């Protein structure tokens, strides 16, 4: 039986009413069809570190299997970067060549291989050369300073580093801080190298990968629960922590993404089409789990073409979308906003865009409407974090338009619950508390940090630090990061609620709410906003806008204006600590 979905008030507010025949099936019916015995998304129960866990029965067993699948796509274009094009066959040759070379350098199972570079064609080569021999790949944040990079290298005990010229210039003089670092390979370096070698001496340039000999990958036994990666948390407070991921963690995302896409089709009452390779513009860094785990893994499995950019630029993105007939893009909400708001958009044919999806930060409901109306594209969103190796929830298309303030329900192999602040009591449906998540995508813990691991990972669950609620059908609504909630005179103010109202104003394209100290109330809300080019709005106008839509105590007492989009970390999260200079 199809569910009778009552359109949400917010869906009406953004100008969308569900079609009369939608949804053709309930989410539960879709799940039952897709996960039935013998179906692609069939599930199984396995023991993961003593916890019975649902897993995708047909997920690849390890990243070595994904690499072999990718190489089988042959002459299909895998990566485009500026004027460089690398096919799947050429990439597979480079991965196998470098994997054998790593072994010759003494790299074995469990050794750490760090990767620090821009989104370059070399990135997925190095990553898979490491993980296919059982080494642990450590993708370091390319935005980090030399000291931060040295911290990551030392903390992870990295034995081999592969980086680009810019990262090497930051690290070289700090190498003594990394006592376990034995070998450095540098790519795209113009000058002389000291205590490092050129990656090109092994592989040549990306354009020459096709000329490398065809080799099989080294034979290494790799189990699903073997260590695969260390991704560092964004580190907005304190030292970044290394989230230790497994092969199963990353392989899970391939199936989770496919499950979500199949649900959207079944909800319309349509038949699931045969998969077709697509072209995607990847504009967020691969050292973030969204791009690597949720993006790169699925792209290789499907034979998709990925386009990398030297740095994000909306006009260049328009040119690429028109020239390469890009089907999907996104990553974080700010990218979507800039694509929508840029005055040059009208000058390009962007009709190939079918989907704009994002995660990493909450999105304003207004963004959902505009993607659908102005691009004619289907919006998509999801929720995850470094500790969940990306995707835990997700929804797209009509489901997202119907619940534009939600990040979707959990995928079939994941569970969510809302817990009290002290972690002792599960809260009823609809109440806001701390979001806990469980499933085969949850990482093992934090590298060399048993105290933080014990605090965050409990009996298979991860304490996310996000404040959220679940509705009666299991859709998740992120209210705030626990540490970002503002408490004014005992009243809780969830920053995303106020930010979403500000985003609804036609002039506002970026907004963040912060707390200002108050000697009686504890703190009061204040906002920093960025306005769209060619628009204007005053502080009093925006305050009146919020006051007409929210309780008076939630209205920002001050609103500052930034001439630039607000500062973000590589994960797309606004760095609210850097906004204090506005007040």
Distances (CA, A) of 413 to 31, 151, 439, 441: 10, 35, 6, 9
Distances (CA, A) of 90 to 60, 86, 122, 226: 22, 6, 12, 27
Number of H-type helices and E-type strands within the chain = 18, 29
Cβ(115)–Cβ(138) below 8 Å: yes
**Number of other CB atoms surrounding residue 135 within 10 Å:** 24
Q: What pTM did the predictor assign? A: 0.86
Tokens of 384: 């995850």
Whether 9-58+244-481 shares its CATH topology with 83-222 is answered yes
Residue of 203, 241, 221, 207 whose CA lies nearest to 448: 241
Residue of 287, 311, 270 whose CA lies nearest to 233: 287
CATH code of 83-222, in short, is 3.40.50.980
Task: Report the C-alpha gap between 199 and 385 in whole angstroms.
Answer: 32
Residues in a beta bridge with 512: 528
Fold of the domain built from segment(s) 9-58+244-481: Rossmann fold (3.40.50)
Q: Which CATH architecture has domain 485-582?
A: 2-Layer Sandwich (3.30)
Domain ranges of the chain: 9-58+244-481, 83-222, 485-582
Cβ(392)–Cβ(414) below 8 Å: yes
pLDDT per residue rounded down to tens, the chain (583 residues): 333 334 346 666 667 888 888 999 999 999 999 999 999 999 999 999 999 999 999 999 999 999 999 999 999 999 999 999 999 999 999 999 999 999 999 999 999 999 999 999 999 999 999 999 999 999 998 888 888 899 999 999 999 999 999 999 999 999 999 999 999 999 999 989 999 999 999 999 999 999 999 999 999 999 999 999 999 986 544 678 999 999 999 999 999 999 999 999 999 999 998 888 999 999 989 999 999 999 999 999 999 999 999 998 999 999 999 999 999 998 777 788 888 888 899 999 999 999 998 775 556 778 888 888 888 888 898 999 999 998 999 999 999 989 988 999 999 999 999 999 899 999 999 999 999 999 999 999 999 999 999 999 999 999 999 999 999 999 999 887 777 888 887 677 878 889 988 998 999 999 999 999 886 777 899 999 999 999 999 999 999 999 988 878 889 999 999 999 999 876 677 888 899 899 9
Angle at 159 between CA 66 and CA 291, to 5 degrees: 40
Tokens of 263: 């649900």
């Amino acid at each position: 039986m199809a569910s009778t979905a009552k359109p949400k008030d917010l869906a009406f507010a953004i100008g969308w009413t569900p079609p009369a025949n939608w949804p053709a099936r309930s989410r539960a019916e879709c799940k039952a069809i897709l996960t039935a015995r013998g179906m692609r998304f069939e599930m199984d129960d396995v023991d993961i570190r003593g916890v019975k866990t649902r897993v995708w029965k047909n997920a690849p067993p390890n990243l070595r299997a994904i690499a072999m699948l990718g190489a089988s796509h042959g002459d299909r274009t895998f990566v485009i970067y500026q004027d460089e094009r690398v096919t799947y066959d050429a990439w597979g040759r480079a991965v196998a060549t470098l994997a054998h070379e790593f072994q010759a350098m003494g790299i074995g199972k469990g050794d750490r291989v760090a990767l620090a570079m821009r989104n370059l064609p070399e990135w997925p080569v190095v990553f898979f050369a490491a993980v296919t021999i059982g080494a642990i790949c450590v993708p370091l944040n390319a935005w980090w300073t030399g000291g931060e990079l040295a911290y990551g290298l030392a903390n992870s005990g990295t034995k081999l580093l592969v980086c680009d010229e810019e990262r090497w210039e930051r690290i070289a003089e700090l190498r003594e801080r990394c006592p376990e670092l034995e070998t450095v390979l540098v790519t795209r370096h113009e000058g002389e190298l000291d205590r490092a070698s050129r990656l090109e001496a092994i592989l040549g340039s990306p354009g020459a990968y096709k000329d490398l000999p065809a080799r099989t990958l080294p034979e290494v036994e790799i189990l699903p629960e073997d260590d695969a990666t260390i991704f560092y948390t964004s580190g907005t407070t304190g030292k970044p922590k290394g989230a230790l991921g497994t092969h199963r963690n990353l392989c899970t995302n391939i199936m989770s993404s496919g499950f979500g896409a199949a649900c959207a089709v079944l909800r319309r009452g349509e038949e699931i089409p045969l998969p077709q390779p697509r072209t995607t513009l990847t504009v967020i860094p691969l050292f973030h789990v969204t791009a690597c785990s949720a993006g790169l893994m699925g792209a290789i499995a499907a034979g998709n073409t990925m386009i990398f950019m030297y740095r994000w630029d909306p006009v260049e993105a328009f040119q690429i979308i028109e020239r390469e007939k890009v089907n999907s893009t996104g990553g974080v909400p700010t990218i979507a906003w800039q694509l929508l708001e840029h005055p040059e958009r009208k000058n390009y044919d962007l009709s190939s865009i079918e989907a704009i999806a994002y995660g990493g930060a909450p999105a304003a409901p207004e963004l959902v409407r505009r993607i659908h109306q102005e691009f004619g594209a289907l919006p998509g969103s999801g929720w995850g974090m470094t500790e969940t190796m990306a995707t835990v929830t997700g929804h797209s298309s009509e489901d997202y338009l119907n619940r534009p303030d939600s990040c979707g329900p959990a995928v079939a192999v994941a569970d969510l619950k809302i817990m009290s602040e002290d972690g002792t009591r599960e809260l009823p449906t609809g109440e806001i508390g701390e979001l806990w998540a469980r499933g085969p995508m949850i990482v093992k813990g934090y590298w060399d940090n048993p105290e933080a691991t014990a605090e965050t990972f409990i009996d298979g669950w991860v304490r996310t630090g996000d404040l959220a609620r679940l509705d009666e059908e299991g859709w998740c609504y992120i209210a705030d990061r626990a540490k970002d909630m503002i408490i004014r005179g005992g009243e809780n103010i969830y920053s995303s609620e106020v930010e979403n109202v500000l985003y609804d104003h036609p002039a506002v394209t970026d907004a963040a709410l912060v707390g200002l100290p108050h000697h009686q109330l504890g703190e009061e809300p204040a906002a920093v906003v960025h306005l769209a080019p060619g628009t204007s709005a005053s502080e009093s106008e925006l305050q009146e806008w919020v006051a007409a839509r929210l309780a008076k105590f939630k209205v920002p007492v001050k609103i500052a204006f930034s001439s630039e989009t607000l500062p973000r970390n590589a994960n797309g999260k606004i760095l609210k600590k850097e906004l204090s200079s506005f007040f």
